[in-house]
Structure formats: C-alpha cells, structure tokens
Amino acid sequence: MDEQTRKELTAWLEFYQELGIEGFYRRKPGAGETQPHFEAAQPAQPAVAPPPKSAAPPMPTRAVPAPEPPKPVAHATLPPAVIRPPSPAFNLFEAPPPPRSGPETLEQIREDLGDCRRCKLAPTRKTIVFGDGNPHAKLVFIGEGPGADEDEQGIPFVGRAGKLLNRMMQTVGLKREDVYICNVVKCRPPGNRTPEKDEVDSCSPFLYRQIEAIKPRLICCLGAPAVRTVLGIKEGITKIRGQFYNFGSTKALATVHPAYILRNPREEKILREDFEKIRDFLKGV
Ligand code: SF4
C-alpha cells in the first residue's frame, strides 16, 4: 500500500470511528475487480445518516500515526429486537382488537375486552365491571370507576352511591332497567382513588365503543373524571354541572357523582335538579 493510499485509508477509518463503527471486514474482489474491499460492519449504536456519496470524507485535523492495516473481522449484525414477555400482572403491549366492519354489539366489545390486563388496575381488581342495563337505552350514565361493592358483584352502581342513583331515577320516573350504566374504567382503583391518566387512556376506548354501540340520545356524566374523559372539560364539576354539551350527535349532561352527595347531603337538590333536566330532555326525544 503506498503512502497516499495509507493516509486516505487512515482518514476514512477515523471518520467511521467517530460514527461508532469499529469493525470492518474484507470482501473478496468481485468479477472485474482487482482489489479487495473493506466494508464497515453494522454499527451497534443508533443509526447515523451516512455522508452523501458525492461528499468527501472529513479530513483528520491532527497528525496520526499510520495504523496497521485493518484485520478482517466477522460481519457484525444488529442484536435482535428486544420483545418483552407479557407481564402476568398487566400487559401494556396487549394488541388492540382488530377493527370490525359494521356496528358492534356490547357482547362483541365485552369479548374483545376479555380478561383485560391492559393497565395497572388489573392486578388488584376482583371483577371487571363492564356495564349494565338496556343495550338500546336512550340514556347512558357514566361514572368514574367501580367501588368495593361493584368489584365484588361485577355490576356498576350497586353500593350506596348506586342506591342514591336509583332513588334519583325513581324521583323523575326513570327505571334502572331502561338505562345503561358504566364507568370510565372497568376495574376498581385501589382505595377508590381517582383513576389515573394512563388507566383512563387504556380503558376509555372500550367506553367509547360502548357508547357507539348503544347510540343513546343522552349521556349523563357523573362526576369530574367522567366529564373530563367524555367531554374533555377540566373545569370544576360544580361550575359546569347542569349544562348540556355535544358529544358527536349525542347530547351530554354533566352532573355531580352521587358519592359527592353522600358526602354532602345538603347538596342533594342539585342532583335532583339535574335529573329533572334529564327527564325533560328525554320527553322531547
Ligand atoms: S381498567 Fe380497563 S384497561 Fe385497565 S385492566 Fe381494567 S378493563 Fe383493562
């Protein structure tokens, strides 16, 4: 190898070294070629865009001793992609179900949900509380998440808050079997805490599919988490309650969660007022 070639080769080797490429292998001359070729092995670091073919390689800025000719090495390959095995507790990587053509039924959505482990509420729940009621209801109530009683029985709103909800419905002439009731998340948050964003993000697609399957005329969001999820409104519930909003072609009403009334019994009249609005709305549809 003459001195000029050696210098050029040195410059190229330093250039590749700066890109994180350490290994090279020598390819045998192809047909019509007389010289062997040295080719860069695959980098083990994130890919860096190669220099344009027309661009000259950057020249060294300092004098360097002439290196030994590169020794051929085995062609390195990138390590295989790391695929995490599903966690037995919950599995964020669970594939979403394939889209269906045509309208879905609640049974199909429940089937897709399966023994869901898509969020961190899965390990502590006893039962998935999917929803309950008339699949063709004009009115859908949406709460924030199951409590202890719901977790035991697998039915939404069966505890004290559920009994208050039933009583409110009765006062305005609604029957529980005529409505549909579900929650933003379908598994009980530990200690009845508010569902966290990642939990809502994992679970709410099933809620939207339930709404789409039922096609109610009115959605009643019970409490701030339901209002935030369904309507995207972050203001305090006591400020925005009693008002109707658009949710696609459906109307939505925001009101307080019955559990709030259990803690503040003097406020019961505001829930009754909102239920009277629901009754009046449903009379007109
Ligand atoms: S809360 Fe929803 S997303 Fe999370 S595990 Fe339960 S059903 Fe699945």
CA of 175 to the centre of ligand 1 (A): 28
Ligand 1 surroundings by CB, under 6 angstroms: 113, 116-119, 121-122, 128, 185-187, 199, 202-203
pLDDT of residue 143: 98
Question: Hey, what are 111's tokens?
Answer: 């089937």
Q: Helices 197-214 and 106-113 meet at what angle, rounded to 10?
A: 160
* Under-70 pLDDT residues of the chain: 9-101
CA of 187 to the centre of ligand 1 (A): 6
Classify residue 74 by its DSSP letter. Answer: -
Q: Which residue reads 């390195």 in tokens?
A: 76
Q: Which residue reads 């969660």 in tokens?
A: 257
- Residue whose Cα lies nearest atom 6 of ligand 1: it is 187
- Residue whose Cα lies nearest atom 3 of ligand 1: it is 203
Report d(CA 133, CA 270) in Å as an integer. Answer: 25
Give the number of the atom of ligand 1 that is nearest the alpha carbon of residue 195: 1
pLDDT of residue 164: 98
Question: Which residues are 247's β-sheet partners?
Answer: 250
Give the number of the atom of ligand 1 that is nearest the alpha carbon of residue 90: 5
- How long a stretch of residues is the chain? 285
- Residue whose Cα lies nearest atom 8 of ligand 1: it is 116
Contacts of 52 (CB under 8 A, 6+ apart): none
Q: Which residue reads 């006893």 in tokens?
A: 126
Residue 174: how many CB atoms within 10 A of its CB? Answer: 20
pLDDT of residue 19: 47
pLDDT of residue 48: 39
pLDDT of residue 9: 66
Choosing from 94, 110, 119, 229 the residue with most ligand 1 atoms within 8 A of its CB, the one to mutate for a pocket test is 119
pLDDT of residue 99: 59
Q: Which residue reads 């259990």 in tokens?
A: 262
Q: Rounded to two decimals, what is the model's pTM?
A: 0.69
CA of 166 to the centre of ligand 1 (A): 26
- Residue whose Cα lies nearest atom 4 of ligand 1: it is 119
